[in-house]
Amino acid sequence: MIIRVVKLEIKDEHIAQFLSIFSDVKSMIVDFEGCSHVELWQDVNDPGRVFTYSHWESTEHLDKYRYSDLFRTTWAQTKQLFRAKAIAWSVTKKEQA
């Protein structure tokens, strides 16, 4: 399993718009082949700093999503709301307490 964490920095005046977009697409993302979980996190001290957190069966599934129409459309809508470049990590879980 691949865990994908993406940090997004949203302009203050666009936070509500971003949250609405995410709410509209989250079920489509989790229904995408190979995705089993998706969450949105928001920084408690900076509401414009948000993180998407998702679980993917494999890198291939994640890549298929990243090149899909769903991703391209959603990214085009959200990218214009950014105050800084997005940063993404693909990780695997090694231990859990």
Domain spans in the chain, listed from the N-terminal domain onward: 2-90
Answer for the pair 26, 40: CB distance below 8 angstroms, yes or no: yes
For 46, phi then psi, to 5°, come to -145, 90
CATH number of 2-90: 3.30.70.100
pLDDT at 82: 98
- What is the three-class DSSP state of 25? helix
pLDDT digits (tens, 9 = 90+) for 33-83: 999 999 999 999 999 999 999 999 999 999 999 999 999 999 999 999 999
β partners of residue 42: 50
pTM for the model = 0.94
Answer for the pair 75, 26: CB distance below 8 angstroms, yes or no: no
Residue 73 structure tokens: 């459309």
Closest CA to 57 of 38, 39, 36: 36
Q: Amino acid letter at 55?
A: H
